[in-house]
Structure 1
Amino acid sequence: MPLLELAARFMRPLLAWIEATPVHVLLVCFILFILLGLACFWLTYYRLQLFVLLHLVAPKPRPVIPSEKTYITSSPSGKPTTARQLPCWYDRWLAERRLQEQKHVRPQEAYPAPDAGSIEPAELRLSVVFPAYNEEDRILPTLEEAVEYLDKHIGRSTTAKGPFSPSSRRHQRGHSSAAKSNAEPGGYEILIINDGSKDKTVEVALDFAHKHDLHDILRVVTLVKNRGKGGGVTHGLRHVRGEYVLFADADGASRFSDVSKLIEGCEEVIDGSFRGVAIGSRAHLVGSEAVVKRSALRNFLMRSFHLVLTILTPPATSRIRDTQCGFKLFSRESLPHIVPYMHAEGWIFDIEMLMLAESAPATPVLGSDGGVIGTSPGIKVAEVPIEWHEVGGSKLNVIQDSIKMAVGLAVLRASWMMGVYRRRLT
């Protein structure tokens, strides 16, 4: 039989080698073979144990409660409105993605470039997301600074075209899979994500909105159960309507007018699919009075965390000098490649956002004439120096939260490497 002949053909040389080999050499080979087998077995066993352990400890965001998809705002009467439904590009994206998976359509067939990057057009120029937890004493100056700047440089009309207009680079680029209108959206919105505050954060924000006639411009979304800063930001990003989306800390530590620098930085790195990210950076302040006045312990922990970050994160993310600054801006088209895959809801969420941007699907690179000259993997991130100052009342416990962040980063990185987290529906 051909099969037996084939087996014999391979066995004859092996048997001849065994007969010609000294017994002690065969014994050594046998022992090495057993050791190699045991090593493979234990490696597989421990990988399986690690995989199961990561499944148990890796963060898994809780489902959204229906009331968390609503908002309240101020009214001319001075009383808060009843709950209104939030717009949600994420729900539409999720429905399209599920339909795509049910039909077993490959992403590259459903969306030419890049994968699963569908998002409805912007209605406004800029969306600003402020995550807030017990911020009644700090949020008012932040809102005053933000609204003063936004009114001056953007305006409230959804059709107005102010001096804040993005550079022509974004609106003159051609892209066959995304027909961009020449008309730029105007106006802005402010989303305050109240992360289960127990103080008067909501009342302070709505009173400010009433005094400044920000009816339906400033919206307050209340999370029934506290998620953490990352969870609040992610929730807010699911409901934005802006062409650009900024999230900023409610304490006002960053100078709000630096949003114009982030817009310019985002424009510099934006790709052929209009994806780009710009992040505020305080790295240039190292050695300045603002940093030197910090305790030696806090500065030591900051440097130690950055070392861990460099070791555990992929190349592009590890080169970023300040990942934790709460002042980051995204182009609208970058959101579907980041927001749906977020898991971290604590302080470490910034790093997951940056890693997701780095690992996003490739997109065409366009030349000055609009022609495709190649492809570029990932979403480029611009690190932009901004003005920053220390604000009292921080909820960060330096020692405890530094340890949590280091452990959280290790779990996060291992979960992505081991396949516990993947670019799939969550």
Structure 2
Amino acid sequence: MTLTDSTSGTLQDAAVAPPGLPSGGRAVRRAPVDTRTAVPVLDVTIPVFNEERDLEECLRRLHGHLLDTFPHTFRITVADNASTDGTLKIAERLAREFPEVTVVHLDEKGRGNALRKVWLASPSPVLAYMDVDLSTDLAALPPLLAPLISGHSDLAIGTRLTRNSRVVRGPKREFISRGYNLMLHSLMAARFSDAQCGFKAIRADVAQQILPYTVDNSWFFDTELLVLAERCGLRVHEVPVDWVDDPDSSVDVVRTALADIRGMARLTRDLVYGRIPVPELRAALARGPLPASSRADEQTRRGSLFGQLVRFAAIGAASTLAYLLIFLFCRGFMDPQLANFLALLVTAVANTGANRRFTFGIQGGNPVRHHFEGLIVFGIGLVLTSGALALVHWTTTPDRWAEVLTVLAANLAATAVRFLLFRLWVFRERTPRTHTGGTTIAAQQPVENTEAGTQAPSTETAAS
């Protein structure tokens, strides 16, 4: 990687060396950023690839906005990802015009690759990036940066998927974006609302610790960073944005979505098999949960049987409706047993994720284990519904609606079984046990902290 100095125009090497984990204890709170530092307080990265048409307008608009509204020193870094048009020349010309603009030229393509290298090499305490088309209204930049500078938050993202966001874009992008984020919530227990909005910022002290453990070089980098941040106990601040879709964007939405799904599978494997040292990162970076006494009332409400029944019933009604629609659709061109299997499988995965998050209030822990146990529960439901179908076909020749009533009744019975198994097995409060003087004693704190998304370490030791 080379950096183009904005004043001399010479090239200088930038070494990027991933730091080791600090040996200190848990950092409960972050210190405010020292805004009197000699280096720029803010470094905004603009990743570009063949953007000669939009780059100059973007830089002039962003530079003017920061001069007018940002009260501290700043730098704008153009990360040229192996452009083959005039992008690099335009960036270097503007770097000579504006002392706050710096150009980085990389020989490899990829937004993740560019951000990782530029951020790890940057001396600024606050790092941000945005897309070159400036689809996001720059009025959202101050609220994005303020919690990082104050020490309140560790990472900040713009979101297009909250009720306070104002977004103009086509139905295909809207559907893909919301569907992808629903998968993240269900399968990876993510809590952030928008993974791919090109408008994010992070504290450099945090970035130095977690960026070396990100590996994606393309669009999935955003998701990987956010999931890792949440698993490490960091606070992610969200800012509703005004966002207008760029109709001339060169991004292949479908191809990017498929790559993101593959990235989810790879990241899940990395987390399950321990490639990423999440416990060590949590020990070094996590803010820690609030005192248990301050959340006692909330935990009691979340764990009450009546409240769980109400939430489970609401999710079950939606799941049953989805099951019937999928069954009727598939029954038009396939065997009833196969149609039942597919309808039950799709709704079971979504049902487990929804109940995990809303019925039992679990936001952290091990979603892979929960979904595996949920599939075992799905198998019980499959036996009930398949058995009912087989019985009705053995005793008579049913019409389509007789089949529907049969599987509906069996599915309702399976729902009751599912709730009992969810409450007593899949999502039960697991408590570690300790041995004291040969006597086994149940620990007071649960293994899974359902609100903070943390997992307490096992305290079991061999009896003396």
Q: TM-score, normalised by structure 2?
A: 0.54
Q: Secondary structure at the match of 2:125?
A: strand
Partner of 1:355: 227
Whether 2:209 is the aligned partner of 1:337: answer yes
Partners of 1:298 and 1:359 in 2: CA distance? 28
Partners of 1:357 and 1:298 in 2: CA distance? 26
| Larger CA deviation: 325-334 vs 412-421 | 412-421
**Residue 311 of structure 1 is aligned with which of 183, 186, 193?**
186
Partners of 2:147 and 2:194 in 1: CA distance? 15
**Residue 42 of structure 2 is aligned with which of 126, 150, 155?**
126
Partners of 2:106 and 2:236 in 1: CA distance? 30
Alignment of 1:180-219 (within 5 A): 186-210=72-96, 213-215=97-99, 217-219=100-102
| Matched-pair contact (CA < 8 Å) for 1:276–1:334 | yes
Whether 2:275 is the aligned partner of 1:389: answer no
Question: How far 1:285 sits from its partner (Å)?
Answer: 6.6
Partner of 1:85: 13
| Matched-pair contact (CA < 8 Å) for 1:123–1:242 | yes
**Matched AA of 1:279:** I
Q: Secondary structure at the match of 2:228?
A: helix
Q: Secondary structure at the match of 2:168?
A: helix
Question: How far 1:394 sits from its partner (Å)?
Answer: 1.5
Partners of 1:188 and 1:239 in 2: CA distance? 15
Partners of 1:240 and 1:261 in 2: CA distance? 22
Partners of 1:287 and 1:125 in 2: CA distance? 28
Partner of 1:325: 197
- What's the CA shift string for 1:343-391, capped at 9, x where partnerless? 111211111111221233xxxxxxxxxxxxxxxxx11001111221112
Shift in CA distance, 286/126, structure 1 to aligned 2, threshold 3 Å: closer
**Residue 301 of structure 1 is aligned with which of 176, 185, 188?**
176
Higher helix share: 2
Whether 2:104 is the aligned partner of 1:221: answer yes
- What's the CA shift string for 1:213-232, capped at 9, x where partnerless? 323x3111111122x11111
Question: How far 1:255 sits from its partner (Å)?
Answer: 2.0
**Matched AA of 2:254:** I
Alignment of 1:26-425 (within 5 A): 68=1, 70-75=2-7, 81-86=9-14, 90-91=16-17, 94=19, 97=20, 107-108=22-23, 111-114=24-27, 123-154=39-70, 164=71, 186-210=72-96, 213-215=97-99, 217-226=100-109, 228-266=110-148, 270=151, 276-284=154-162, 290-291=168-169, 294-295=170-171, 297-314=172-189, 318-360=190-232, 378-422=233-277
- What's the CA shift string for 1:31-87, capped at 9, x where partnerless? xxxxxxxxxxxxxxxxxxxxxxxxxxxxxxxxxxxxx0x211445xxxx7221233x
| Matched-pair contact (CA < 8 Å) for 1:337–1:357 | no
- What's the CA shift string for 1:117-136, capped at 9, x where partnerless? 9x997722211111111111
**Matched AA of 2:168:** A
Which of 1 and 2 has higher RCO (CA within 8 Å, sep 6+)? 1
Alignment length (residue pairs): 276
Superposed CA RMSD: 3.1
**Matched AA of 2:131:** D
Question: How far 1:311 sits from its partner (Å)?
Answer: 1.9
- What's the CA shift string for 1:325-353, capped at 9, x where partnerless? 11111123221232121111121111111
Partners of 2:67 and 2:49 in 1: CA distance? 26
Q: Secondary structure at the match of 2:45?
A: strand
| Matched-pair contact (CA < 8 Å) for 1:192–1:219 | yes
The runs of 5 or more residues in structure 1 that have no matched partner are: 1-67, 101-106, 155-163, 165-185, 361-377
Partners of 2:106 and 2:175 in 1: CA distance? 35
Partners of 2:205 and 2:108 in 1: CA distance? 29
| Matched-pair contact (CA < 8 Å) for 2:78–2:104 | yes
| Matched-pair contact (CA < 8 Å) for 2:157–2:200 | yes
What fraction of aligned residue pairs are identical, expressed as a percent? 25
Shift in CA distance, 286/299, structure 1 to aligned 2, threshold 3 Å: farther
- What's the CA shift string for 1:286-337, capped at 9, x where partnerless? 996613xx14x333322321221112223xxx22111111111112322123
**Matched AA of 1:325:** C
The runs of 5 or more residues in structure 2 that have no matched partner are: 282-464
Q: TM-score, normalised by structure 1?
A: 0.58
Shift in CA distance, 284/220, structure 1 to aligned 2, threshold 3 Å: same
